[in-house]
Every structure is written in structure tokens, then in C-alpha cells.
């Protein structure tokens, strides 16, 4: 289970690092998502760079948590909810708007589902290891 816990941290670190790059360079994000062509405004660039800064901060937070994966497992739970939950809602909304095709977002939806499936038992196992749970997680 410890390997799974570490893998969850690395999943988050890699995904957040990629998202950081895509947020700082909207043209790269547009090409990856195959969204409709657009010319980003100064306001759009400001917003994506603020989001990129926050995403970079979350990447660093996950690296920090990885240094003591069991003690800092709460970071995984915070990554799942609200971060991944809000990202999933945003993905649904952009697909629903027609700005990005469902096929382009499928890898994101798969990632969100895998994260939800893996992060919860990893988090529970870490809590059990810390002594926060009395029963062995299933």
C-alpha cells in the first residue's frame, strides 16, 4: 500500500506540473485540448497565469507532502476535494459549452476517476498507519 500512496503523490505532481505549463502557455493548452482557435486577451492571460501560479504552488505542496507521505496524507484528501472535484466540474462545463470536444477531455476524465479510486484507499491506509483509524482499511 505504501507504493500506491507514493504513486498517488507522483500522479498529482506530474499532472499538476503539466497543468502548470499549460496554464502559463495558453497556446500549448489550446493545442493539447484541441479547443476552438482563439486569441487570448490580456485578462485571459492574467487569469491563466494566476491559476498557473496556484497550480505550481500545489505541485510544490505535493512534493513537500511526498517527503513524509504518511504524516502528510491529508494533502491527498485536499487534492481530491476540492481541487480535483472542481477541475472535474470545470471539465464537464467546458465540454457542455461546446468549446472543447469530449474526446479531447476524455484523458482528463480518466485521470480524475483514477485519482478518486486510488487516493481514497491510500489516504485511509496512511491514516491507519498513523493510528488515526482503529480498523484496517479495506
pLDDT tens-place string over residues 9-40: 999 999 999 999 999 998 888 888 777 777 88
pTM: 0.88
| Confidence (pLDDT) at 121 | 95
Distance from C-alpha of 2 to C-alpha of 123, rounded to nearest angstrom: 10
pLDDT tens-place string over residues 74-115: 999 999 999 999 999 999 999 999 988 999 999 999 999 999
Q: What is the largest CA-CA distance in the chain?
A: 55
| Confidence (pLDDT) at 138 | 64
| Confidence (pLDDT) at 32 | 83
Residue 44 predicted with pLDDT over 80: yes
CB-based contacts of 13-22 (< 8 A; 24+ apart in sequence): 13/59, 13/62, 13/63, 13/66, 15/111, 16/55, 16/56, 16/58, 16/59, 16/62, 17/59, 19/52, 19/55, 20/52, 20/55, 20/56, 20/59
Residue 60 predicted with pLDDT over 90: yes
| Confidence (pLDDT) at 30 | 82
* Residues 39 and 64: beta-carbon distance below 8 Å: no
Amino acid at each position: 500500500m505504501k507504493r500506491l500512496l507514493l504513486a498517488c503523490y507522483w500522479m498529482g505532481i506530474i499532472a499538476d506540473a503539466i497543468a502548470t505549463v499549460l496554464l502559463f502557455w495558453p497556446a500549448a493548452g489550446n493545442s493539447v485540448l484541441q479547443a476552438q482557435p482563439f486569441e487570448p486577451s490580456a485578462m485571459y492571460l492574467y487569469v491563466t497565469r494566476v491559476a498557473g501560479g496556484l497550480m505550481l504552488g500545489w505541485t510544490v505542496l505535493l512534493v513537500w507532502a511526498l517527503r513524509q507521505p504518511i504524516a502528510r496524507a491529508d494533502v491527498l484528501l485536499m487534492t481530491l476535494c476540492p481541487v480535483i472535484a472542481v477541475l472535474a466540474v470545470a471539465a464537464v462545463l467546458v465540454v457542455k459549452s461546446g468549446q472543447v470536444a469530449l474526446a479531447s477531455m476524455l484523458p482528463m476524465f480518466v485521470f480524475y476517476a483514477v485519482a478518486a479510486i486510488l487516493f481514497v484507499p491510500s489516504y485511509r491506509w496512511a491514516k491507519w498507519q498513523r493510528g488515526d483509524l482503529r480498523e484496517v482499511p479495506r
